[in-house]
Amino acid sequence: MRILVSACLMGLCTRYDGGHCENEELISLGTRHTLIPVCPEQLGGLPTPRVPCERVGDAILSKDGTDHTAAFERGAAEAFKLYKISGCAAAVLKARSPSCGKGPIYDGSFTGKLTDRAGVFAQKLLDAGIQVYDEGEISQIKY
């Protein structure tokens, strides 16, 4: 089965700080399934590295106050297209990200506090009824 995954969890340096958060459990999942990496923020045209962003109401603001909502929405739409055209049946996404977090995510205060919402891309998948796991839930994937 094909599974869409956050690129940073595969070890690709797509994070805002230019790093990654490689997850061995996810990479092991690749022995049973075809994993398709995507970074919605890069697909939305944002640079790497970039100023960190958080969801503030319905907007996505960077720590310096710039509104990046349009780029996040564009990236979510493109990543959703990739999910569809590649024939994926589920997604494994990075937790707490303003794009990929299925919830909770950081609350917009840039203080590390969490709020029970989803990131822009994760919300798009959830709204479409797609099964979304975060990296703490990989062991739940039994197929």
- Residue range at the interface with ligand SF4 (CB under 6 A); choices 8-16, 27-35, 108-116, 130-138: 8-16
**CB distance 36 to 88 below 8 Å:** yes
User: Smallest Cα–Cα separation from 40: which of 81, 3, 88, 1?
Assistant: 81
x/- map, 78-107, ligand SF4, by CB under 6 A: ----------------x--x-xx-------
Q: Which is nearer to ligand SF4, 21 or 141 (CB)?
A: 21
- Cβ distance to ligand SF4 smaller for residue 68 or 94: 94
Question: x-or-dash pattern for ligand SF4, window 17-46, by CB under 6 A?
Answer: ----------------------xxx-----
CB atoms near residue 124 (< 10 Å): 20
CA distance 31 to 17: 29
User: In whole angstroms, what is the distance from residue 34 CA to residue 21 CA?
Assistant: 19
